[in-house]
Amino acid sequence: MKIAINRLDILQTAFSQIVIPQAVYNETTVVGFPGSEFILQAIAARWLQEF
Protein backbone atom coordinates (compact mmCIF):
# COMPACT_ATOMS: atom_id res chain seq x y z
CA MET A 1 0.00 0.00 0.00
CA LYS A 2 1.28 3.47 -0.89
CA ILE A 3 0.31 6.48 1.17
CA ALA A 4 1.23 10.04 0.19
CA ILE A 5 0.63 13.01 2.43
CA ASN A 6 2.05 15.70 0.11
CA ARG A 7 4.16 17.19 2.90
CA LEU A 8 7.58 17.78 1.38
CA ASP A 9 7.76 20.83 3.63
CA ILE A 10 8.43 18.47 6.55
CA LEU A 11 11.58 17.23 4.82
CA GLN A 12 12.63 20.77 3.97
CA THR A 13 12.28 21.74 7.63
CA ALA A 14 14.25 18.74 8.87
CA PHE A 15 17.03 18.85 6.25
CA SER A 16 18.66 21.80 4.55
CA GLN A 17 19.33 19.76 1.42
CA ILE A 18 18.22 16.38 0.10
CA VAL A 19 19.80 14.52 -2.81
CA ILE A 20 17.80 11.95 -4.76
CA PRO A 21 19.09 9.42 -7.30
CA GLN A 22 18.42 10.03 -10.99
CA ALA A 23 16.03 7.05 -11.07
CA VAL A 24 13.87 8.61 -8.33
CA TYR A 25 13.89 11.94 -10.16
CA ASN A 26 12.84 10.24 -13.40
CA GLU A 27 10.01 8.38 -11.69
CA THR A 28 8.63 11.29 -9.65
CA THR A 29 8.74 14.08 -12.23
CA VAL A 30 6.82 12.49 -15.08
CA VAL A 31 3.53 14.05 -16.11
CA GLY A 32 0.72 12.39 -14.20
CA PHE A 33 2.79 11.34 -11.18
CA PRO A 34 0.91 12.51 -8.06
CA GLY A 35 2.78 15.42 -6.54
CA SER A 36 5.26 15.84 -9.39
CA GLU A 37 4.72 19.61 -9.32
CA PHE A 38 5.87 19.68 -5.67
CA ILE A 39 9.02 17.72 -6.56
CA LEU A 40 9.80 20.12 -9.40
CA GLN A 41 9.22 23.13 -7.14
CA ALA A 42 11.58 21.69 -4.51
CA ILE A 43 14.24 21.15 -7.18
CA ALA A 44 13.75 24.70 -8.48
CA ALA A 45 14.16 25.97 -4.90
CA ARG A 46 17.42 23.97 -4.76
CA TRP A 47 16.81 22.18 -1.47
CA LEU A 48 16.03 18.98 -3.37
CA GLN A 49 18.69 17.91 -5.85
CA GLU A 50 19.20 15.03 -8.21
CA PHE A 51 22.46 13.25 -8.85
Q: What is the pLDDT of residues 10-51, one digit of tens each?
A: 988 999 899 999 999 999 999 888 888 889 999 999 999 999
Q: What is the CA radius of gyration of the chain?
A: 11
Domain count, the chain: 1
46 in a structural domain: yes
**Beta-bridge mates of residue 48:** 18
Q: pTM for the complete prediction?
A: 0.76
Distance in angstroms (rounded) separating the CA atoms of residues 14 and 50: 18
26 in a structural domain: yes
1 in a structural domain: no
Region label for 47, one of left (φ > 0), alpha (ψ between -120 and 50) or beta (otherwise) = alpha
Give the domain range for residue 42.
Answer: 8-50
**Beta-bridge mates of residue 20:** 50
Coil, strand or helix at 4: coil
So what's the pLDDT on residue 34?
84
Distance in angstroms (rounded) separating the CA atoms of residues 35 and 47: 16
3 in a structural domain: no
